[in-house]
Amino acid sequence: MTSRTTTLNPGGIASSGRGRLGDRAFRWAVAAGGITVLLILALMIGSTTLDALPVFSSQGIVDFLTGITWDPGVSRTEITGTYQAGVFMFGTLVTSLLAITLALPLSIAIALFLSDVAGPRVARPLAYLVELLAAIPSVVYGLWGLHFFAPTVLKPVAKFLSETLGFIPIFEGPVVAFNPFYAGVVLAIMILPIITAIVHEIFRAAPAAERQAAYALGATRWEVMWQVVVPRSRPGIVGATMLGLGRALGETIAIALLIGGGTTINISLFQQGESIAAKIVNTFQESAPEAIDALIALGVTLFAITIVINMAARLIVRRLGDLSGEAIS
Amino acid sequence: MRVTTESATMTTPTMTDPAVEATPSQPPEIRPPGAMVPPRPIARARDASAPRNEPEARPANPAVELSDVSIFYGAFRAVRDVSFSVPAHAITALIGPSGSGKSTLLRAINRMNDLTPGSRLDGEVRYHGTNLYRADVDPVEVRRRIGMVFQKPNPFPKSIYDNVAFGPRLNGYRDNMDELVERSLRQAALWDEVKDKLKQSGLALSGGQQQRLCIARTIAVEPEIILMDEPASALDPRSTLQIEELMAELKENYTIVIVTHNMQQAARASDRTVFLNMGDDRAGYVVEVDDTVKIFTNPREQLTEDYISGRFG
Ligand SMILES: Nc1ncnc2c1ncn2[C@@H]1O[C@H](COP(=O)(O)OP(=O)(O)OP(=O)(O)O)[C@@H](O)[C@H]1O
Ligand SMILES: [Mg+2]
């Protein structure tokens, strides 16, 4: 017996060489993965910025961002046209803001319903359904909006709004066939599931003990939801909103199908607009090399907008986290 | 259990205004001065049914009376035919082995069990004569009158001030909130420790301080009864003693019901003790109810003696 134990464990505490090898290999694999990601990112930023640089320098960065003329040239070697992104940036921001404005309150309401109102027998299948909706490809949303939702549902709504509230510039008629309003609403439907799914998870993570404490103080279910669950979840809600906004900003196909392809800034939601991503896909194929560089410059701009919004979100989340007290020592 | 009729005198059927119906059994000084909630009726009409089953030696001035209470979770009966009363301005301790239904009974008193899907209660829980389980009683109003402190301190992730002000704000309290917050924190023996950091998170306090904050939060809505479910079990001995001293002070203004596993605590801190045991069907039942001194010095039941001397449970 004694001899057997010694042969089984000859090296004592230092014998785990195989485990160490695996450890080292794993560390290398992880490091390689990380470096690859960084390389790809650097390559992407580097090459796009390189292509976009002549456009930025020939137009001037301020004019590029604020001007509203897009008049592409046909040169293969130099920049001869006028390239200004204002119209498209406006369209991107308008559709994204409209989408988030419509989607966020509805998402919070649905998430609260799932976490605090519906019983598990209703909530579980419904939550699953929401996750399924998030998985539908955006081109399907776009086609559905194009052929069904916009003409049968949104058109009457738009007509009604322009007739009753037409004195407000954003609702001014006439309502054209495709417009930022349709794009924004369909975009809202697209980002609704993902925001709802995340916010639902956040609400579910709110401790039962806090809900109980509020109930024991004589809170109604409504008060528990709005004064305990929602306030403590604010940082997470901001995060989910930013994720939805990110998706809205970059969304291409559905918007390209619905926004109307305008060439000027229209304050009214019911007249043609154009977004950055839609402009790129709509004109990429028939563009001369210099115009393609200009489209890449548009892409770089969109990327920059997304980064700025993301950083702002991080700041807000950190600030809110401080307020809600978890971070206080 | 014997059925008696004498307890019908508890509910005086001549009084019809529900807002003042509790006056004979409810001393006027029950709320601290400046009570914010106007005495609202807990239900629309008065309960006509007279209490039936009562165990012996019932105290004179009960704030709550349970009679023949059975509580179910789905098909499982967690508590069987429990009757006891809770004297006003005293500390009543619920003791008994794990699973005997102490927490279940406590939550039945302020209708917190309503929040558990599938839970059901048979029998009556009377609060100054009104059956809290009558169809027209609003559980939200019940919980405003009968507050609760939980086993694990559960402050909101808000500032100390906002934690205490939470309940009053719900109730639309618009008087001097600073004063109410200070008074509540003082009553909870926490004021001196936190008066300079009211804007700090309640989560930044120690466990014992958090629990006193939770007590302050409960006091701030000026309930009549405070239910405490093992309020000191997560705390160190010093904080535990603090909580016990605090309870002794609070019973001047409040009626307290406490669940505890700690026999010394029950003996030290309570005036009256309800001993529960778990039957063969795993349903909890009352073995003995009496003054704490009696239970701990000269219990009627052998089972009680075995339990308090640590021979089982
Ligand atoms: N939410 C619930 N759903 C189903 N059964 C429950 C629930 N809460 C409690 N029970 C059951 O009811 C019985 C009594 O539980 P309760 O928590 O009231 O006991 P307790 O006396 O407080 O025990 P402990 O001393 O361990 O806290 C137990 O058998 C428990 O399993
Ligand atoms: Mg318990």
Nearest residue (by CA) to ligand 1, atom 2, is B73
CA distance A84 to A66: 7
Sign of the CA dihedral with A67 first, then A70, A71, and A77 last: positive
DSSP for B261-300, written as a single string: S-HHHHHHH-SEEEEEEE-TTS-EEEEEEEEHHHHHHS-S
Shortest Cα distance, chain A CAs vs residue B26, angstroms? 21
User: Out of A212, A218, A228, whose CB is closest to B144?
Assistant: A218
CA distance A308 to B47: 64
Q: For chain A, what is the radius of gyration of the CA atoms?
A: 26
CA distance A274 to B130: 67
CA distance B76 to B282: 9
Q: Would you say residue B271 has pLDDT above 90? A: yes
Could you tell me the CATH number of the domain that includes residue B207?
3.40.50.300
B109-161 pLDDT tens trace: 999 999 998 999 999 999 998 999 999 999 999 999 999 999 999 999 999 99
User: Out of B171, B203, B217, whose CB is closest to A326?
Assistant: B203
Asked if residue B163 lies in contact with residue B130, where contact means CB atoms within 8 angstroms, the answer is no
**Does ligand 1 have an atom closer than 6 angstroms to the CB of B116?**
yes
* Residue B15 forms part of a structural domain: no
Structure confidence at residue B142 (pLDDT): 96
Structure confidence at residue B34 (pLDDT): 38
Chain A residue with CA closest to B140: the answer is A218
Q: Report which of B172, B204, B90, B273 is spatially closest to residue A220, judged by C-alpha positions.
A: B172
Predicted confidence band of residue B35 (pLDDT cuts 50, 70, 90)? very low
Predicted confidence band of residue B290 (pLDDT cuts 50, 70, 90)? very high
Q: SS3 string of B135-160?
A: CCCCHHHHHHHEEEECCCCCCCCCEH
* Residue B143 forms part of a structural domain: yes
* Residue B40 forms part of a structural domain: no
DSSP for A99-149, written as a single string: HHHHHHHHHHHHHHIIIIIS-HHHHHHHHHHHHHHHTS-HHHHHHHIIIII
Q: Would you say residue B51 has pLDDT above 50? A: no
CB atoms within 10 A of CB A22: 11
* Residue B102 forms part of a structural domain: yes
* Residue B157 to residue A232, Cβ atoms within 8 A: yes
- Over pLDDT 70: what percentage of chain A? 91
Model ipTM? 0.81
Ligand 1: nearest atom to the Cα of B151: 27
Residue A150 one-letter amino acid? A
Nearest residue (by CA) to ligand 1, atom 6, is B73
Range of the domain at B147: 62-308
Residue B109 one-letter amino acid? I
Q: Would you say residue A8 has pLDDT above 60? A: no
Structure confidence at residue B32 (pLDDT): 38
Nearest residue (by CA) to ligand 1, atom 1, is B116
**Does ligand 1 have an atom closer than 6 angstroms to the CB of B80?**
no
pTM for this one? Answer: 0.80
* Residue B313 forms part of a structural domain: no
CA distance A198 to A242: 11
Structure confidence at residue A17 (pLDDT): 58
Q: H or E segment at A82?
A: strand A82-83
* Residue B12 forms part of a structural domain: no
* Residue B16 forms part of a structural domain: no
Predicted confidence band of residue B52 (pLDDT cuts 50, 70, 90)? very low
- Name the least confident of A1-15, A20-34, A40-54, A310-324: A1-15
A172-225 pLDDT tens trace: 989 999 999 999 999 999 999 999 999 999 999 999 999 999 999 999 999 999
B78-113 pLDDT tens trace: 999 999 999 999 999 999 999 999 999 999 999 999
Q: H or E segment at B87?
A: strand B76-87
Structure confidence at residue B252 (pLDDT): 92
Q: Pick the ligand that lies closest to the CA of residue B277.
A: 1
Shortest Cα distance, chain B CAs vs residue A202, angstroms? 15
Higher pLDDT, A120 or B69: B69
Q: Would you say residue B46 has pLDDT above 60? A: no
B233-262 pLDDT tens trace: 888 888 899 899 999 999 999 999 999 999
Structure confidence at residue B122 (pLDDT): 95
Angle at B94 between CA B91 and CA B96, to 5 degrees: 155
CB atoms within 10 A of CB A205: 12
Q: Report the number of distinct structural domains present in chain B.
A: 1
* Residue B154 to residue A210, Cβ atoms within 8 A: yes
Residues in B closer than 8 angstroms to A217, CB to CB, are 143-144, 147, 166-167, 170, 217-218, 221
Provide φ and ψ at A103, rounded to 5°. -75, -35
B60-80 pLDDT tens trace: 678 999 999 999 999 999 999
Mean pLDDT, residues A55-84:
92
Predicted confidence band of residue A23 (pLDDT cuts 50, 70, 90)? confident
**Does ligand 1 have an atom closer than 6 angstroms to the CB of B183?**
no
B201-215 pLDDT tens trace: 999 999 999 999 999
- Over pLDDT 70: what percentage of chain B? 81
What is the average pLDDT score of chain A?
89
Structure confidence at residue A20 (pLDDT): 79
Nearest residue (by CA) to ligand 1, atom 30, is B99
Structure confidence at residue A36 (pLDDT): 95
Mean pLDDT, residues A294-302:
95
**Does ligand 1 have an atom closer than 6 angstroms to the CB of B78?**
yes
* Residue B8 forms part of a structural domain: no
Q: Would you say residue B26 has pLDDT above 70? A: no
Distant-in-sequence, close-in-space partners of B188: CB < 8 Å, separation ≥ 6: B212, B213, B215, B216, B219, B246
- Name the least confident of A112-116, A264-268, B2-6, B55-59: B2-6
Report every protein residue that has its C-beta within 5 angstroms of ion ligand 2.
B 103
Higher pLDDT, A229 or A314: A229
User: Does the domain made of A84-324 have the CATH classification 1.10.3720.10?
Assistant: yes
Domain boundaries, chain A: 84-324
Q: Would you say residue A110 has pLDDT above 70? A: yes
Mean pLDDT, residues A33-44:
94
Higher pLDDT, B123 or A120: B123
CB atoms within 10 A of CB A149: 18
Predicted confidence band of residue A160 (pLDDT cuts 50, 70, 90)? very high
Ligand 2 centre to CA of B227 (Å) is: 12
User: Out of A119, A216, A325, whose CB is closest to B112?
Assistant: A216
